[in-house]
Amino acid sequence: MGKICASAAEALDGLLHDGMFIAAGGFGLCGIPELLIAAIRDSGVRDLTFASNNAGVDDFGIGLLLQSRQVKKMISSYVGENAEFMRQYLGGELELEFNPQGTLAERMRAGGAGIPGFYTKTGVGTVIAEGKEHKEFDGETYILERGIVADLAIVKAWKADETGNAVFRKTARNFNVPAATCGRVCVMEVEEIVPAGSLDPDHIHLPGIYVHRLIQGQHEKRIEQRTVRQREET
C-alpha cells in the first residue's frame, strides 16, 4: 500500500478535526515536523491538545499554532523560548500540563507499546505528583503516570524508504521515535525518500509499520541559541 503523499496537506487529508490530540516530535528546534505543523495551521482546526517536548519559538514550530490560537492545551517539559506561550498561559488562555522530560518520553513510549501506565519516582513531593496515585515499592514512594495515546502523531526524520522505515539524525531522534509510536495514525515528513531495501536494517530507528503516510520536503536548519566568540584582532 503506497504511503508517499505529494504534500503535507494531502498527507493530513481526512485526519484533522477540532479538539483532537496530537503528539509531535522534535527537540528544541531540531527535528520539528515543520511542514505538517504549517499544514495544520492552514487547515484551521482548533482546540488542539499537543504532547510535545517544547512549544517551538514564536515564529516556528508549534509556536505558529499558538499565534493562530489553535492550541487549547500543551503537555510539555520545556516552554522557555516562546513568549506567546508565556503570555497565553499567564493570561489563562492556554492549559499546561508540565511533565519531566524523561517522564514525557516514557509516557509516549508506553502508549506506543500498549502500556496504560507506569510508576516513577520522578516528581514525587512536587506539584507534578498532585492528584496522582502514590504507591510504595521496596520502601520508596512512586507516582503513577499514564501512557499517552494520541489521535495523530506528526514527526520529522532525516531519511526514510518508501515503506516508512526511518533514520533520524542525532538529537532529532529523541522525541520523534516515541511520538511516532504513540499515535493511532502517524504522518512523517523527511528530507529524503530512498528506495525500499536501500537502508541497512541495523540502522533503522523507526520501523515503517508505525508510519501511515509519508512526505518529502525542504526544511529549515535553525539554530535555537547561537553562541559565538569575538573575532581576535591580528
- CATH code for the domain of 54: 3.40.1080.10
Tell me, yes or no, whether 233 lies in a domain.
Answer: no
Tell me, yes or no, whether 223 lies in a domain.
Answer: no
> Quick one: residue 170, left, alpha or beta (phi over 0 = left, psi -120 to 50 = alpha)?
left
Cβ atoms of residues 75 and 99 within 8 Å? yes
Show the cell assigned to 59: 515564529
Give the whole-angstrom CA distance, residue 80 versus residue 148: 23
Tell me, yes or no, whether 132 lies in a domain.
Answer: no
**140-146 and 117-120 as β-strands: parallel, antiparallel, unpaired?**
antiparallel
Tell me, yes or no, whether 221 lies in a domain.
Answer: no
Q: Supply the range of the domain harboring residue 195.
A: 8-117+149-216
Please count the CA atoms within 13 angstroms of the CA of 14 that sit on its side-chain side: 5
pLDDT in tens, the chain (234 residues): 689 999 999 999 999 999 999 999 998 788 999 999 999 999 999 999 999 998 887 788 899 999 999 999 999 998 777 888 889 999 999 999 999 999 999 999 999 999 999 999 999 999 999 999 999 999 999 999 999 999 999 999 999 999 999 999 998 898 999 999 999 999 999 999 999 999 999 999 999 999 999 999 888 776 666 778 877 776
Number of separate domains in the chain = 1
Tell me, yes or no, whether 234 lies in a domain.
Answer: no
Tell me, yes or no, whether 96 lies in a domain.
Answer: yes
> Quick one: residue 145, left, alpha or beta (phi over 0 = left, psi -120 to 50 = alpha)?
beta
Tell me, yes or no, whether 224 lies in a domain.
Answer: no
Tell me, yes or no, whether 125 lies in a domain.
Answer: no
